């Protein structure tokens, strides 16, 4: 078996596991970028998504100024292709983390790249909440936090789980793109150690690992969404 692998995937085995170019290192960097950028970008996207739903003209707390500001910010960042965003905010990245290369530097553009996408997803999810439930909560004197947490987030939790899954999958793709310009991770392995060196086996394996991560996230997300939907019934 080892002879077969050495023959079919010689460059994959040559990469090693734990050194700078190793497979475990690349996978760890991908997890690192995905987790932290979703934490920062996800929180920002959730806040903007809630704000867009609450302040829309048909919302619970209509406010044209706040709605337009949030809407324009989300639309602006969503309109910028991620590869251009990496260069566009390079000075901001340098200011925040004191470097423009590496996995930590990638967190800034990744967070800003994922937040508008997630904000729109959350906006759609929360907009699906039955208006009658919201009006009933208001009629009994529900506070702002009651409306947000007890009504919107609770009633839309299954849908939020689904859009979170979609966002995480998209983010994994963005980390691969960031890796292609030196941020590390599986994207960097596929391009720098695979494509650029004509090591097709490295490119194929790196791609397969990304696909496996996507499938795992999809399966877990679907099960979680289904579970939350049953609990709300």
User: What pTM does this model have?
Assistant: 0.90
User: By CB neighbour count within 10 A (0-12 exposed, 13-18 middle, 19+ buried), where does 41 fall?
Assistant: buried
Q: Which residues contact 23 (CB under 8 A, 6 or more apart)?
A: 12, 15, 16, 17, 189, 205, 209
Structural domains of the chain, ranges and CATH numbers in brackets:
2-232 (1.10.3720.10)
Distance set, CA 206 to CA 7, 82, 107 (Å): 18, 21, 21
DSSP string, 55-71: HSTTSSS--HHHHHHHH
* pLDDT, tens digit, 9 for 90 and up, residues 113-167: 999 999 999 999 999 898 889 989 888 888 889 999 989 999 999 999 999 999 9
* pLDDT, tens digit, 9 for 90 and up, residues 66-88: 999 999 999 999 999 988 888 88
In the three-class reduction of DSSP (H, G, I as helix; E, B as strand; rest coil), residue 26 is classed as: helix
Show the tokens assigned to 86: 């990496």
């Amino acid at each position: 078996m080892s002879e077969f692998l050495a023959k079919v995937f010689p460059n994959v085995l040559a990469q090693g596991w734990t050194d700078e170019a190793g497979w475990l290192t690349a996978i760890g960097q991908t997890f690192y970028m995905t987790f932290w950028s979703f934490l920062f970008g996800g929180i920002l996207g959730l806040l903007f998504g809630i704000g867009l739903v609450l302040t829309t003209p048909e919302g619970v707390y209509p406010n044209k100024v706040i709605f337009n500001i949030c809407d324009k910010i989300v639309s602006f960042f969503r309109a910028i292709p991620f590869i251009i965003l990496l260069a566009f905010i390079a000075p901001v990245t340098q200011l925040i983390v004191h470097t423009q290369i590496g996995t930590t530097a990638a967190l800034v553009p990744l967070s800003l790249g994922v937040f508008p996408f997630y904000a729109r997803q959350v906006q759609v999810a929360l907009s699906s909440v039955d208006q009658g439930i919201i009006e009933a909560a208001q009629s009994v004197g529900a506070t702002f936090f009651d409306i947000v947490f007890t009504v919107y987030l609770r009633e839309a939790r299954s849908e939020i789980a689904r859009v979170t899954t979609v966002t995480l999958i998209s983010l994994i793709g963005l980390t691969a793109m960031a890796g292609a310009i030196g941020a590390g991770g599986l994207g960097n392995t596929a391009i720098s150690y695979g494509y650029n060196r004509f090591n097709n086996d490295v490119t194929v394996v790196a791609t397969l690992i990304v696909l496996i991560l996507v499938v795992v996230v999809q399966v877990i997300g679907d099960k979680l969404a289904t579970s939350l939907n049953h609990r709300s019934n």
